[in-house]
Each structure stands twice: as structure tokens, then as C-alpha cells.
Amino acid sequence: MAAAAQDELGALVQSLPFNDANSFRRKGGRRVHRFDHGLVAPARDGPLVFPYQTLRIYREETHHLHQNRRTVDYIGVQWVFQREDGQVWKNLLQRRPQDPIDPLIGMYEQALSATCVEQRDEVLQRLAAGATLSFGPVDLDVSQIKIGTQDAPWSDVTGVAVEAGALAVRAKPVAPHPWIKELDLRTPLAGIPNFPLLWQLVQLLHRQASPGNPDVNP
């Protein structure tokens, strides 16, 4: 490991072999390193440094069914790590349902949580200063949330939830009609970078706009 990478990220916390999901084999000498403040991942042109403070993580889990359509043959988890400068590193981990969880998955989950910790205070300050934050298809500020082409003021949001692999936001329609009881804004979690951080913000802003409304599904 390059000394410069260690100096930038702090002390080495954990190092695990890189899992080649396509062949179910481990590649000797290819390892992912987790430091106090980021990850160092293997790449063709040399190790890539991903500081948590600017890291964006996408995660998508897919269950591949057997021909009988009832049992799961294997589970694939696609991880995409993106730096502030646009540099991307991807890793696809696959396992059979009866296999133990790959330790890399636990390591990546910890990295995802770490990005939230590193960025939470910063984004709260930016929101308080009037900024609009973007998480892929979701934009939000202290007054409203926008998912795709639909938006709703926080004061009109009646509930937020995670349902069937998607972020779901229910809100009163702008102009009430007898045939529209409420708006349903939703988008798949797989397309939202750093969803745990966004979920914290969504719950916080929803509670602040309607402190007496308990309709928050964690």
C-alpha cells in the first residue's frame, strides 16, 4: 500500500481479498483496504483512494430465481463507489442462499455507514443555509422534496416509507380533486447514492414539518 494513501486516510482498519463474483474464485494479491477515513480499492492502473467525506455509494441486490420460480439460485450484490471527481470502481459479489455472508459485504456496509457520518453534519449545515441537495433522482431542501418530475412541500407530505425496494413519499395533491386522494412519489433505492444518509434527512425534514405525524416507516 502506498504511503501517500495511508497518510490521506489514516490507520489501516481492515483488509480483505477481492472477490471475483463471475468465477466464484478469489484473486490472489487483490485486496480492498478500509482505513479510518476511506477505502483503497484495486484498479488496473493502480489502487484508487476513496475518502468517505466525498464518497458516493450505490448498492443493488438481486435475487436470481431457479427455473421453478420459487427458490433462489444465487444472490448478487452490485456495489458502485464514486468519487467526487467522477472516478468509479465497481464490485459484484455473488453468493448462494446457503453460503455465509461474504465479509466484504459487511465491510462495504460499514463504509456506507461511515460516509453518512462523515457527510451528515456538512449536509445539515448546507440545508440550513438554503441549499438544495441531490441524491440521484431525489432533490430536497428545507421546504420541499422532488422525486423525478414530481415535487411536494414538506408541509403536504403525509408519510414517508421504504416499500418494495423503493423510497415512497405520500403527499396531499396540490389541487385536491375527488379522484386524487394523495400523491405517491417513489423511486427505486438502487438508483439513490448513499440512501442511508438521504433517509435520515427525509425523516428529519418530515418530522420538522409535521411533528405530530408518526407516519414514518424506518
CA atoms of 10 and 52, how far apart (whole Å): 12
pLDDT surpasses 90 at 137: yes
Note whether 137 and 117 are same-domain residues: no
In a domain, 217, yes or no: no
Same domain, yes or no: 109 and 38: yes
Does residue 26 fall inside a structural domain? yes
- Number of compact structural domains in the chain: 2
Amino acid at 100: P
Q: Are 120 and 189 contained in the same domain?
A: no
Sheet-wide strand order for 183-188: 157-163, 166-171, 183-188
Per-residue pLDDT of 144-183, as tens digits, reads: 999 999 999 999 999 999 988 899 999 988 765 556 678 8
The answer on 138 and 79 residing in a single domain is no
The verdict on residue 96 lying in a domain is yes
Question: Which residues does 191 contact at the CB level (< 8 Å), separation at least 6?
Answer: 58, 136, 137
Q: Which residue has the cell 444518509?
A: 197
Average of pLDDT values for 106-116?
89
Instruction: Tell me which DSSP letter residue 100 carries.
Output: P
Residue 115 has pLDDT above 60, yes or no: yes
Question: Which of 127, 143, 161 finishes a domain?
Answer: 127
Is residue 7 predicted with pLDDT exceeding 60? no
Domain shared by 114 and 15, yes or no:
yes
d(Cα 18, Cα 121) in Å, to the nearest integer? 32
Q: What is the model's pLDDT at position 217?
A: 45
CB 209 within 8 A of CB 154: yes
In this prediction, residue 175 carries a pLDDT of 67
Tell me the CATH number at 47. 2.30.29
> Same domain, yes or no, for 155 and 99?
no
Mean pLDDT value of segment 11-17: 87
Mean pLDDT, the chain, as a whole number? 83
Domain final residue pick, 127, 160, 192: 127
C-alpha span between 91 and 20 (Å, rounded): 8
Whether residues 25 and 114 fall in one domain: yes
Residue 94, number of CB atoms within 10 A of its CB? 20
In a domain, 7, yes or no: yes
Q: Which domain holds residue 60?
A: 3-127
Q: Model pTM?
A: 0.70
